Amino acid sequence: MGFDPITKRKTIRKFKDIEIEKEVALSLIEAAIQAPSAHNFQPWEFIIIDSDEIKEKLSDTMALTWINNLKKDGKLSNEINGRINLSKERITNAPIIIIPCFDTSKVEKYGDERDNAEFIMGIQSVALASENILLKATEKKLGVLWLCAPLFCPEDVRKVLDMPDHILPQEILIIGFPDENPIKPKRRDLSEVIHLNRW
C-alpha cells in the first residue's frame, strides 16, 4: 500500500534548521487553491513569511495580547512566561510560515440572517484549503504545526503584516522538516462518530 498523507499526517512541533525553498511553499499553496469553496468564491489569501524580522515582530506583538488574556484567566506568572516563551520560540524558529486568510469581501451579503451562513461558509472554504496544505506537506515529508492564535488577536496580525480590514487571518501554519517523530494521538472509533439515518 502506498504512502497515505491522510493517515500519516500528524502535528510536528520540532523542526530541523533547514531552509524551505520558495518553490516548495508555492507548491503547498498550489495544492491549497485546488480546494472546493462555497459558490466557488475562492475567498482565500495566503501570506508566506520567511523573514526572521517579521517572525519576531509577529511573535512579540501577538504575545502582548496573549499575556493580557492569560492574566485575565488568573494564570500565574511562571505559567504565563512558560507558555509565551514556548510560543515565541516556535514562531521565531519556524523554517517558514504560511498564514491562510479569509477575504470577507468575497462572500455574498444579503443584509439578513443569511449573512452569518455565508460568513461561516467562507471560513469553511479557507479551512478546506488549509487542510490541503497539511496533506501536501505530509506528502512532501514536511511537518506542520497548526496554530489558531490569529483568531484571538486578528488586529495584531493585521497590524504587523499590513493587512486590510476585510482580510481575516485564520491560522498560522509553521512548516519545516520534522526533527521529531511523535506518536499520533488515537482517533475516535468509527462506531463513536457515525449516526446512520438519524442521530
Give the model's pLDDT for residue 3.
Answer: 78
- For the stretch 82-92, pLDDT in tens is 999 999 999 99
Query: What mean pLDDT comes out for the span 43-63?
Result: 97
Which three-class secondary structure state does DSSP give residue 158?
A: helix
Give the model's pLDDT for residue 81.
Answer: 92
Measure the CA–CA gap between 162 and 85, rounded to whole angstroms.
25
Burial label, 132 (beta-carbon count in 10 A; 0-12, 13-18, 19+): middle
- For the stretch 137-192, pLDDT in tens is 999 999 999 999 999 999 999 999 999 999 999 999 999 999 999 999 999 999 99
Which three-class secondary structure state does DSSP give residue 11?
A: strand
Q: Which domains does the chain have, with CATH numbers?
A: 5-193 (3.40.109.10)
Give the model's pLDDT for residue 145.
Answer: 98
Angstrom CA distances, 69 to 26, 45, 55, 159, 186, stand at: 35, 28, 21, 19, 31
- For the stretch 69-109, pLDDT in tens is 999 999 989 999 999 999 999 999 999 999 999 999 999 99
Mean pLDDT score of the chain, rounded to an integer?
96
Query: What mean pLDDT comes out for the span 105-118?
Result: 94
Angstrom CA distances, 133 to 39, 142, 191, stand at: 21, 10, 29
Measure the CA–CA gap between 53 and 92, rounded to whole angstroms.
9
Of 3-7, 43-47, 119-123, 170-174, the least confident: 3-7
Query: Would the pLDDT of 1 be above 70?
Result: no
Measure the CA–CA gap between 41 and 13, rounded to whole angstroms.
33
Measure the CA–CA gap between 15 and 176, rounded to whole angstroms.
6
Q: Which residue has the cell 479557507?
A: 126
